[in-house]
Structure 1
Amino acid sequence: MTSMRSPQKDAYEMILEAIDTGTYKPGSRLVESELAERFGVSRTPIREALQRLETQSLLSRDGRSLIVASLDHSQLSELYVVRGALEGLAARLAARHSTPEELAVLRHMLEADRALVGDPDAMSRANRRFHKQIHLASHNRFLVQQLDLVHRSMALLASTSIAVEGRPTDTMVEHERIVKAIEMGDGDAADLALREHISQAFTIRLRLDAEAVQAGR
């Protein structure tokens, strides 16, 4: 098996990235020896990374095995409530504290992402970058830390709402509204636009889950 080791990343970061990119999906079993071979590290840092991920509730126990955790309906709802509040605050602070250079980066991202509308996977990655840039533009390190935790938990969702037909186009419209509000320095509008964006994503997520349940019957 080809090693995926990166000198800039430790075992924890590599496993977390693999979960975030869908290499390991909710329910996937993680085995120390397999992970050590995959990432080209010894089993000790892998074991420590798995313990850390379990403590953060990103992994759960299935008998003696560790598996990537999944979110039930209540956990999903709680996650989106927190995400909406924190993301809205980040947009509000970005409208107040972002630099001209940060605004230029946001605008560039927005324009570049229009070419990705037909590629849901690329669009999903671009969406994460876009939101991260807003987090950084808030210039509040404690808020950024909390949003990092929230987005780690988002990796436990089996699919992306952006894959739904029509959602990429709607996402770009919503992103445009967010960027315009931040550019204008309108914290109230930026907060509202970001919260509505998250609300739309949550609505689609609930619909996807309901359809999956129905299909399983």
Structure 2
Amino acid sequence: MPSEIQAHKDAYDLVLDAIDKGEYRPGDRLVEAELAERFGVSRTPIREAFQRLETQGILARDGRSLIVASLNHDQIGELYVLRAELEALAARLAAQHATPEEVRVLFSMIDEDRALMDQPERMSRANKRFHRQLHLASHNRYLVQQLEAVHRSMALMSVTTFQAEGRTGVALDQHRAIVDAIAARDGAAADAAIREHISSAYETRLRQGAGRL
């Protein structure tokens, strides 16, 4: 049997993971009893997971109910500004500190992700794994924590940019440019490459938003 502490940790991670995978979308109502049954835990750790996620802005109040939060136009812009700065720092640090093994793993991930060109949801998950690996290559635990918070908020965007035509190929080419710079130990080039990547993703998201008007 898992300990009570482990059950509480697992409940938070399970709810967050379900949101991150798109199983619960912005605006969806979360019901404590339903999630407790789904994940096989008591309602207490689910309740505490809800409280933690509400504090982090992942969940929001809608009357007496809790729903998955959504981001407005300004919030999305603010999030991309912060993400660009933090990702650029991670890329510069990775150019200094990434091990040869970490660089090889990043290159291999790009090669493997080429098989997902026509699978936007799977590519979205692969993209998160790539960025997570890049963050770890910075070898700065506090930066990694901040980037994790940013990427939690990114899960509140209900549509992946990889649904846009041609986006996957462009993103993978940009990933290659980022890792090429890291492999060359060129922090300035890595910074510039990842800023271009984030800017391109933001522009794609803005176009998607405009298309839904």
SS of 1:150's partner is helix
Q: Deviations over 1:150-176 (max 9, x none)?
A: 000000000100111100111111111
- Cα displacement (A) at 1:117: 1.1
The one-letter amino acid paired with 1:113 is: D
| 2:135 corresponds to | 135
Question: Does 2:22 correspond to 1:22?
Answer: yes
- Cα displacement (A) at 1:9: 6.1
Q: Which runs of 4+ in 1 moved over 3 A?
A: 6-9
- Map 1:10-159; keep pairs closer than 5 Å: 10-159=10-159
C-alpha contact 2:7 2:41 (8 A) present in aligned 1: no
C-alpha distance in structure 2 between counterparts of 1:115 and 1:8, whole Å: 37
Q: Which runs of 5+ in 1 are unaligned?
A: 1-5
C-alpha contact 2:7 2:45 (8 A) present in aligned 1: no
Q: Deviations over 1:26-80 (max 9, x none)?
A: 0000011111111111100000000000000100000000000000011101000
- Cα displacement (A) at 1:7: 7.8
| 1:188 corresponds to | 188
Identity of aligned residues (%): 63
- Cα displacement (A) at 1:210: 1.3
C-alpha distance in structure 1 between counterparts of 2:93 and 2:205, whole Å: 27
Q: Deviations over 1:159-206 (max 9, x none)?
A: 100111100111111111111000000000001100110000000111
C-alpha distance in structure 2 between counterparts of 1:172 and 1:46, whole Å: 37
| 2:202 corresponds to | 202
CA RMSD of aligned residues (A): 1.4
C-alpha distance in structure 2 between counterparts of 1:17 and 1:9, whole Å: 12
The one-letter amino acid paired with 1:56 is: Q
The one-letter amino acid paired with 2:116 is: L
- Cα displacement (A) at 1:122: 1.4
C-alpha distance in structure 2 between counterparts of 1:8 and 1:156, whole Å: 23
The one-letter amino acid paired with 2:33 is: S
C-alpha distance in structure 2 between counterparts of 1:71 and 1:212, whole Å: 15
| 1:3 corresponds to | none
| 2:3 corresponds to | none
